[in-house]
A and B are shown apart, each in its own frame.
Chain A
Amino acid sequence: MKIFKKFKVREKIPFKEQLPFIVLVSPFAISFIVFTILPILAAIALSFTDFNLVSINHIVGLENYIRIFLEDDVFMIALKNTMILALVTGPVSFILSFVLAWLLNEMPRGIRSFLTLIIYSPALAGNIYVIWQYIFSSDSRGFLNTYLMKLGIISDPILWLSDTKYNFAVVIIVAIWMSFGTGFLSFVAGFKALDRSLFEAAAIDGLHNRWQELYYVTFPQMGPQLLFGAVMSIASAFAIGSVNATLTGNPSPDYSTHTLLLHITDYANSRYEMGYASALAVILFVLMVTVWALINKVLKKFNA
């Protein structure tokens, strides 16, 4: 009842008084609507056509979706790879980010800032992952091959980036290396914002070890950051694509590192089948929203 009343009160705020808030929120709201909501709606609409960037020739109804699920062999590979990437790099980077932030929190200030910068820098530097091309170069004098051959572990150079046995693993490693981004920073910040008095109280109440402290005191306080970090890492895991494309080519040998995002780029940029690409994008969107809902459910516990 109380809540209901609150709403009532808010609705009664005259427009004149609301105006400043509307003005303040509008720059973001407008750009969010124009650059996020509208494109999503447009993609949903276009996914029912055969739009080819120049013209819409036919309204094809559900044909694009039917083709995706029944005819497109590569889509299944892309879906599989995307799921593996999301399920491996998402949680791994989430946990690693948290653990690293936790460990960093214990360090003295100077070292902490320095290490934070180092760990964050791959995400900060954008396309820096190209350096892995040299490390995993297929030439017998690529960095990794040279050392492995020197140590006598292998006798012939391994084609790290084009051999389908290895290249997906390489992509996963690089993706994890790249993934200490915004989520990681929010953890670092979150640890700083913890209420120290609660730790004291918990210690008085009889905490046995640091794990208990982490679980009963830290986690509940870090709820928003945890959710944010989880969403960020899953979202970025679903959107992995440029790393694979740069390292293993698009399309990669036998589509071995093909992801949904690359599948979309492939249809949009080299085949100009925008309708089909939109349908793929809608599927990816649905997938991400579903996963987000799941995460929300899991982390609800800490989200007061």
Chain B
Amino acid sequence: MSKGKLFALMLAVLMLVNPFILSASAETKNAYVEDGENRLDTLDSYYSYFGKYGTADAPKGFTEIDGKDIVAAEYVDKAVSLIEGKDSAILSNENSWCEWKVEIPQDGRYALYIDYFALEASGKEILLSLEVDGKKPYTEATNLRLPRLWKDVVKEGRFEVDNIGDDIQPVQEECKVWLRDTFIDVEGLYSEPYFIYLTKGNHNIRLTVAREAVAISKLSFGNEEDPETYAEYISKFDNVDKNMGNESVIQAELIHAKNTSLIYPTYDRSDASTKPNVPGLLRLNTIGQSNWTTVGDSISWEADVEKAGLYRICMRARQNQNQGMNSYRTLSINGEIPFKEACNIKFPYSQKWYIKTIGDDNPYYFYLEPGDIITLTCVSGEMSEPLRNIRQSLLNVNAIYREIITVTSTDPDIYRDYFLSSQIPQIEERLSDMADFVKSTADMVSKITGTRGSQASELDYMSEMLQEFAYDPETIPERLSYFKDAINDIGSMISTLGSQPLELDYIAFVPDGAKTPSVNVGFFEKISFGISQFLSSFAADYNSYESGSGDKGKTVNVWVSTGRDQMRIIKNLISDSFTTQHGINVNLSLVDTGSTLIKASLSGKGPDAAILVGGPMELAYRGALVELSKYGLDDIYDEFYEGTWTPYRYNGGIYALPETMSFDMMFYRTDVFSELGLSAPETWDDFYKVMEVLQKEQLLVGIPEINAANMGVSDGISTFYKFLLQSDEEYFNSENTEVNFNTEKGYAAFYKWVELYREYGLPRQYDFYSRFRTGEMPLAIQNYTAYNQLSKAAPELKGLWTFAPIPGTRREDGTINRAQTAAFTGCIMMKAAVKHKRDNETATFLKWWVGNQTQSDYAQKLEGTMGIAARYTPANRITLKNIAWSVSEHEILDEQMAAARPIPAVPGNYLIGRSLTTAFRSAVSGKSSIRQALTVSVKSINDEISHKRKEFNLD
């Protein structure tokens, strides 16, 4: 037999046997997957709870218990006390709880309404966790929210203006009143409040405070009566005179109250018809814009009618944020929904302003008395069901995607047959079921929005793709990347569909005889407004701002390198608190401080101070900065961890104050981990074990290497530092003249870093968000700001991921060393301040700025303005506590912050990143041996350091 024939025979045998081998492994796979699904089911989400009990009876009326009738309590200073006239249970600190006993008259679904008083704490929303008979009913019960009530401080019916004439954002003040509210889903997935299913008889109800502090006077179990219909409502007012003369108008930005501090007055400068508007000046003339989007957020106004009677309610409104979508609001008068039709009022999408009359062509009349409070609450309206479906399909599709990549890997060979239909049990049926489900959701969405718009068409695309996959699973590997893109697109849809933006200009109460106000002013008024607006743009300086007036000699010039929105917040903080407190004026300019700062100070045009500066120490080495510890930093020093000061210490002094600080955390997908029976790795040893399991499943582990912004210096340097610091090695020798990288510990750290890519084959460049989202990269070490983007961009993953401290190294005493480096920005005082004798004022400003109060206010405003994606990363450890992290999140962030050991200020240290990157890359590619690469790089770093020491006369 010739060689060729023998080979052909072997090939034939192999091909015959192959399917059997594959199907054998498929059987074991099958058992495993079913097991995994069972495990997922024990994770009881509200979705499955809703599916189980959603159709149960919902008894109307309430069973009430007094807050003071506590049966058990813990960590409560004083269990019951009189608060604002009511006996109540006090939950005064985090993790304190109270328990009540309730007797339920009949089986059914019960919502829990709470009469509460928000106690003084850090001013965030109150988070409670609910247990029924010692057990949480569903995962969402750990984070139930009760809002606080806020109002804007306004003098004489209008906002205050600054020295230019622009409106100043009003100060917000909490309303100290008793409130009544229930728990709702802020994502908008459920149009009704969260319920608990209770059987007839006695139950123990326990509420634990997860955040803030609250007093509770009454708990009511039950469901609100359905409001009457409009016909019933209006028949009560048959004999009220409808013709009452003139309309009355209230400006929507002047509110009575709001239940979140994140809503604040906004402005529309471009439209002459938006009132009030002055060309060239900033008038806060609208409210809502992109801030009033979350389900449950409400604003109330005082109805300014002349006399009691029946009025139409017309609003000048705009919804230009969510293309093709409707926003929904529910109207209540004095806290009561007047009739059924006042629920789910629809505000359609439009680029232009329009007049929305409630009831549209057949307007509804509301009985209003002077001083009535009308409230609009953001509700999810008809969108909640499609939203639920999309979220569920997304989770299903992601699950099947992960099953597919365990067979094909994320980068399949398109010329290979993977026998997916035998590898993954019932793949065709499952795909086809999903396709039908997605299709029906698409129909639902297009029916609600009235168009087959972009949202519905993305769903259609997904449905078609799933159908084609079901028809022929062998096409999946080829189209895997498109499949992943489609999953991503649908994921980002959820946040669009769930948000309900609305902007209001004014609200008019129009009696029967009067005309509905017109939406636009006349043509000539528009033209003249546009022209004066254009002309005034020549005079206005949008890049600088001065607070206060008077003694110009004591004006501190500050440069800030940030975005315009951030600068506006800083400017408001300065004029609201700094200038009024200290009597020092500040001239704030928006300047990109990169290398401008040193050039400007060389020419004598530099500022007194600069904030949010990236690498200030290069200026310090060259003597351009003022040493700050002589101005007395005692009162703020302890607000920072000791390590936080390291990067700004030089020659025994402190040359900058830390502002922001960011570091890495470990992100992982809890669903994938529980499916595979894994837990979050604590140490590197665990990490490698987890990595093995994940890689066996063709899943990826992410540690950033290539820095997308600057390919020259690798992000992976921080990985090297982790290994180095956790082996208790310092960056530099004790005199800061040489790096310690060529010690045995240093070499071991470098070896481990190279090994991650050379031996474990980690991807060097990847898109974290999309891979984490699909679950193909369930474990990654990322900067902790990734949390913000994930919560903003991947709402469907809520509850399916979390972050943990980075893996550490176990010390001999059993504790874990989680040291790592961190990145900072700082604020500095330039020599110019001393020259102009403004150094004391400048130091006061800098201390004020990095102090906890200002940083917390800034963080809160920032998140309020720009959403969770802009969550601040303070270096101030007290501020970190005041940011909207949950208690457990704050705990691990704080632990990691305390463990940070940033690189000390040593002239020439910029070369480390560069030089090590070169060494690392040549070691990974095998161009040179690991030891050789490191030695060469250490030599060049040390040369640079000694060169710089000579330049700065340090020897």
Query: Could you list which residues of chain A lie within 8 angstroms of chain B, going by C-beta atoms?
Result: 50, 52-55, 57, 138-141, 155-156, 159, 161-162, 248-255, 269-273
Contacts and interface: CB of A to CB of B under 8 A. Distances in A.
Nearest to B922: A254
B712 A272 contact: no
B447 interface: no
Chain A interface helix/strand/loop/mixed: loop
Greatest chain B CB density within 10 A among A161, A162, A254 is at A162
Given A54-B623, A55-B622, A269-B595, A162 B602 contact: no
B598 A55 contact: no
B922 A272 contact: no
Contact of B711 (A54, A161, A271): A161
Contacts of B792: none
B749 interface: no
Contacts of A155: 411, 413
A156 B917 contact: no
Interface string B699-724: 00000001101111100000000000
Interface residues of B, number: 32
Contact of A253 (B594, B601, B921): B921
B710 A57 contact: no
Given A55-B623, A140-B411, 20 more contacts: A53-B599, A53-B622, A54-B601, A55-B622, A139-B765, A141-B481, A156-B411, A159-B706, A159-B764, A162-B711, A249-B707, A249-B713, A250-B710, A250-B712, A252-B711, A253-B921, A254-B921, A269-B594, A269-B595, A272-B598
Q: Which 10 A-B pairs have the closest CB atoms?
A: A249-B711, A251-B712, A249-B712, A54-B622, A249-B710, A162-B711, A269-B595, A53-B598, A54-B624, A52-B622
B681 to A, nearest CB: 28
B326 to A, nearest CB: 34
26 contacts: A52-B622, A52-B951, A53-B599, A53-B622, A54-B601, A54-B602, A54-B623, A55-B622, A57-B951, A138-B765, A139-B765, A139-B767, A140-B411, A141-B485, A156-B411, A162-B711, A248-B712, A249-B711, A251-B712, A253-B711, A253-B917, A253-B918, A254-B918, A270-B910, A272-B618, A273-B951
Contacts of A156: 411
Chain B interface helix/strand/loop/mixed: loop
Interface string B591-619: 00011001101100000000000000010
Contacts of B601: 54
Nearest to B707: A249
A218 B951 CA distance: 58
B953 interface: yes
B914 interface: yes
Contacts of B710: 249-250
A250 B618 CA distance: 18
Contacts of B594: 269
A248 to B, nearest CB: 6
Contacts of A139: 765, 767
Interface string B199-230: 00000000000000000000000000000000
Nearest to B944: A271
Given A139-B765, A253-B921, A54 B598 contact: yes
A156 B914 CA distance: 27
Contacts of A52: 622, 951
Contact of B706 (A53, A138, A140, A251): A138
Contacts of A271: 910
B616 to A, nearest CB: 13
Contacts of B711: 161-162, 248-249, 252-253
A52 B620 CA distance: 12
A55 B707 CA distance: 34
Interface string B316-331: 0000000000000000
Contacts of A269: 594-595
Given A140-B411, A249-B710, A57 B953 contact: yes
Contacts of B951: 50, 52, 57, 273
A252 B914 CA distance: 9
A53 B618 CA distance: 11
B82 to A, nearest CB: 63
A162 B707 CA distance: 10
Nearest to A275: B951
Nearest to A52: B622
B914 A251 contact: yes
Contacts of B622: 52-55, 272
A278 to B, nearest CB: 15
B618 A253 contact: no
Nearest to B951: A50
B831 to A, nearest CB: 9
Contacts of A140: 411, 481
Interface in B806-823: none
A60 to B, nearest CB: 10
A53 B594 CA distance: 14
Contacts of B709: 249
B951 to A, nearest CB: 6
A202 B710 CA distance: 58
A269 B596 CA distance: 10
Contacts of B707: 249
Contacts of B598: 53-54, 272
A161 B922 CA distance: 16
A206 B599 CA distance: 65
A162 B713 CA distance: 11
A170 to B, nearest CB: 12
Contacts of B921: 253-254
Contacts of B481: 140-141
A54 B707 CA distance: 31
A255 B917 CA distance: 11
A280 to B, nearest CB: 16
Nearest to A268: B595
B613 to A, nearest CB: 14
Interface string B261-273: 0000000000000
Nearest to A252: B712
Contacts of A53: 598-599, 602, 622
A35 B710 CA distance: 32
B623 to A, nearest CB: 6
Contacts of A254: 918, 921-922
A140 B763 CA distance: 12
Contacts of A250: 710, 712
A162 B706 contact: yes
Given A52-B622, A272-B622, A159 B765 contact: yes
Interface string B399-426: 0000000000001010000000000000
Contacts of B764: 159
A253 B953 contact: no
A53 B598 CA distance: 7
Contacts of A161: 711
Contacts of B413: 155
Interface in B912-928: 914, 917-918, 921-922
Contacts of A159: 706, 764-765
Contacts of A162: 706, 711, 765
Interface string B885-918: 0000000000000000000000000100010011
Interface in B467-485: 481, 485
Contacts of B623: 54-55
Interface string B98-116: 0000000000000000000
Contacts of B765: 138-139, 159, 162
Contacts of B914: 251
A133 to B, nearest CB: 10
Contacts of A248: 711-712
Nearest to B619: A54
Contacts of A54: 598, 601-602, 622-624
B823 to A, nearest CB: 16
Interface string B614-643: 000010001110000000000000000000
Contacts of B706: 138, 159, 162
